Amino acid sequence: MALDNKKLAVDYCGLKLDSPIVLLSGCVGFGEEYTRIKGFSNRDVGAICLKGTTLEARLGNEPHRLAETYSGMLNSIGLQNPGARVVVDDYLPMLDFDETRFIANVSGSTVDEYEEVTRIFDDSPIDAMEINISCPNVKEGGVTFGNDPEMSARVVAACRRATKKPLITKLSPNQTDIAENARRCIEAGTDGFAVINTLMGMSIDIEARRPVIGNNQGGLSGPAIKPIALLKVHQVYQECKAHDIPIIGQGGICNANDALEFIIAGASAVGVGTALFYEPLICKEINAGIVEYLEKHDLGNISDLVGTLELNN
């Protein structure tokens, strides 16, 4: 079945995407790795989010860094990356910006670092930047930026000063009130959201009586978190719709039905990550399934479906 790009086309933060699918940060390296898979084309996705990048190079956490769980996966990579300047100078020139959009993932341990990494990517061909606020603030006791609305807003405001390119704030589910955090980030200048990041979890080796993950805990992704992610997208959408702020809905999307649920809940685009590890070509199937649904319900474009959820009385 040939895909109808007009039905799949998305305007996300002013970026024209040929598909609502965004490949998530950490799952496809710095973009060039995934192109090695036979049968994959960047034209099957609307955008690719690059691996989390800090100002200086990082080796990441001690192994083990991954652990399979029921209906999901734990990861604790620790932001292993070569540093922002190396990514801009050595990695971005290898990417074909005519095929799809590329989004940098900005990470840091201080507000100043977020701002500087954003400034480096601003002077590059990158299309947009995702702010990974699920990082510990080393200057304030290691509290995660994304779990405190005030600190989240400070990071967004700093990044906003450093660029006019679209900023997408990646919200953590590990907080008390995700909608309030979204409101503060909107006030600080974010252009969009990615909802949600992973939930924190643990796996234990019962023979060693030690955590499987070298860092003791890791981020849980995959189908297990989908119901939580759907609720968070719905909650954030209540803050976003009045301001026309788009959402990338993500968390356990494995097929077209999953993607459609997120769109109905309020997402303008959908993120695919963990599913790529066991079905690298899943994006073709998701695109085809979305088109089939739109045709069945006589909908001209995916935007006609965004936020159409009707709650029970």
pLDDT value for 42: 83
112 three-class SS: helix
pLDDT value for 78: 93
* pLDDT surpasses 90 at 134: no
Residue type, 279: E
Would you place residue 1 in the very low, low, confident or very high pLDDT band (cuts 50, 70, 90)? Answer: very low
DSSP letter at 296 equals: H
pTM for the model stands at 0.96
* pLDDT surpasses 90 at 21: yes
- The Cα–Cα gap between 301 and 261 comes to 16
The arithmetic mean of pLDDT across residues 104-119, rounded, is 97
* Sole residue written with tokens 């405190």: 148
Residue type, 260: L
* pLDDT surpasses 60 at 107: yes
pLDDT digits (tens, 9 = 90+) for 236-280: 999 999 999 999 999 999 999 999 999 999 999 999 999 999 999
13, 27, 49, 135: the active-site residue: 135
pLDDT value for 119: 98
pLDDT value for 38: 81
Map out the domains of the chain with their CATH numbers: 5-305 (3.20.20.70)
Identify whether 13 is a catalytic site residue. no
Return phi, psi of residue 106, to 5°: -90, 120
Average pLDDT of every residue of the chain: 94
